[in-house]
Amino acid sequence: MAQLHVIDHPMIQHKLTIMRMKETGSKDFRELLKEISLLMGYEVTRDIALEDFPIETPICPMTAKRVSGRKLAIVPILRAGIGMVEGLLSLIPVARVGHIGLYRDEETHKPVVYFCKLPADIQTRLVILTDPMLATGGSACDAIAMLKERGCKNIRLMCLVAAPEGVEKVRTSHPDVDIYVAAVDEKLNENAYIVPGLGDAGDRIFGTK
């Protein structure tokens, strides 16, 4: 069974609190999401393999360490997942970026696919799938299925806030995918929004409401 990693570092929790506040505007919301994404990226990449790398410092030669050849891809679920890409790219500048476009139908709450563009060698890469909100889990599950259809075997899901229902759905449907979140909230409301949550992440990032 896949693991759920709740990254409860005090700096992440502090920044998340400001993001949750309804008076926080888009500029601050975006900046905080970027900062948290970089910090969460440390945990998501914690077990990435290192290899020996001989170098010379100004003092003497040494065998240093560097990240070994394993290749990464960051794949945001549009739109809100885009808000997590820049922070991750500042940690992993060589990562490739793919995009999966999904939106939740307002009445059925079911995801609808409208875009998919991935690196050609996506099946050889460790994929970090990003979306700030894991609500019913429908969008994440469909995005993971799309990645698997294209041959991806190594997928990690990185979200900011999750509902217990979404965590359960991903763990049941995709038991091989580890989930990284900053918080698991109480529940979903009747509109399938996370409670207490932070509202509509896409609208808050892009100022569309």
31 binds ligand URA (CB under 6 A): no
Which of 24, 45, 171, 200 is the catalytic position? Answer: 200
200 binds ligand URA (CB under 6 A): yes
- Minimum CB distance to ligand PRP smaller for 5 or for 109: 109
Residue 139 contacts residue 110 (beta carbons within 8 Å): no
73 binds ligand URA (CB under 6 A): no
CB of 66 to ligand URA, least distance (A): 37
* Rounded CA separation 95/73 (Å): 5
Find the binding residues for ligand URA in span 131-150 (CB under 6 A). Answer: 133, 135
User: In which region does residue 107 sit, left (phi positive, over 0), alpha (psi from -120 to 50) or beta (all else)?
Assistant: alpha
108 belongs to the catalytic site: yes
Residue 100 contacts residue 77 (beta carbons within 8 Å): yes
Residue 185 contacts residue 195 (beta carbons within 8 Å): yes
Of 172, 173, 202, nearest in space to 82 by CA: 202
Which of 108, 172, 176, 208 is the catalytic position? Answer: 108
- Catalytic positions are 104, 108, 200, 203
> Contact residues for ligand URA (CB under 6 A)?
80, 133, 135, 193-194, 197, 200-202
